Amino acid sequence: MGRIVLVTGGARSGKSAYAEARAAEIGGTRVTYIATAEALDEEMQIRIARHRMDRPVEWITEEAPRGVGNAVRRAITPVVLVDCLTVLASNALLAVEGEGEEAAMAAVLAEADALREAALAHHGTTLIVTNEVGMGVHPPTALGRWYRDGLGRANARIAAAAGEVVLLVSGIPLKIKSM
């Protein structure tokens, strides 16, 4: 059975850098990096380029804005790093935009559940980066609330299956679960 390490925290708290360092520590150059972001605007293009430059060139990179569970199942390396569940949830939500809260929640949780099951079936360690969005401002729109609630539930489901959960606060990792 695979091991899940969930890395969570606020925006720009150092989650990705921490997860990348842990992936290198565990797998060296034998890491599959699964990116969920799409370069839909210039700012995101710059972020993606910066992330690519930060990763070792030997790592396998797969772009998977949806269907991340399938990408994890295809991975042949002992370590998989998924960055990030936050964007995956957004992608899932936007794919069913206009279909209502039930469809939104189902889409987000289906992606999270598929990711969790694939990570548990993986032959090594899967690090999953996500944002903790439940401690912030109450979203003013229904879509924002569905996103916050869906991601919160998705995070809880993955954390329940994880052997380790690390919370990054201002760049400082706090281990909140370890088995």
Query: How does pLDDT run across 136-162, given as a tens digit for each residue?
Result: 888 999 999 999 999 999 999 999 999
pLDDT at 80: 99
pTM score: 0.94
Classify 176 as helix, strand or coil: strand
Q: Which domains does the chain have, with CATH numbers?
A: 3-178 (3.40.50.300)
Q: What angle do CA 35, 36, 39 make, to 5 degrees?
A: 90
pLDDT digits (tens, 9 = 90+) for 84-127: 999 999 999 999 989 999 999 999 999 999 999 999 999 999 99
pLDDT at 75: 98
The region that residue 12 occupies, defined by phi over 0 for left and psi between -120 and 50 for alpha, beta otherwise, is: left
In the β-sheet with 125-129, what is the strand arrangement from edge to edge?
60-63, 31-35, 79-83, 125-129, 3-9, 164-169, 172-178
Query: From the CA atom positions of the chain, what is the Rg in Å?
Result: 15
Name which of 91, 92, 87, 90 is nearest 48 in CA terms: 87
Burial of 174 (0-12, 13-18, 19+ CB in 10 A): exposed
Is 123 considered catalytic here? no
DSSP 8-class letter at 14: S
Residues composing the chain? 179
The answer, yes or no, to whether residue 59 has pLDDT greater than 90, is: yes
Q: What is the mean pLDDT of residues 42-60?
A: 86
Using an 8 Å Cβ cutoff, are 119 and 128 in contact?
Answer: yes
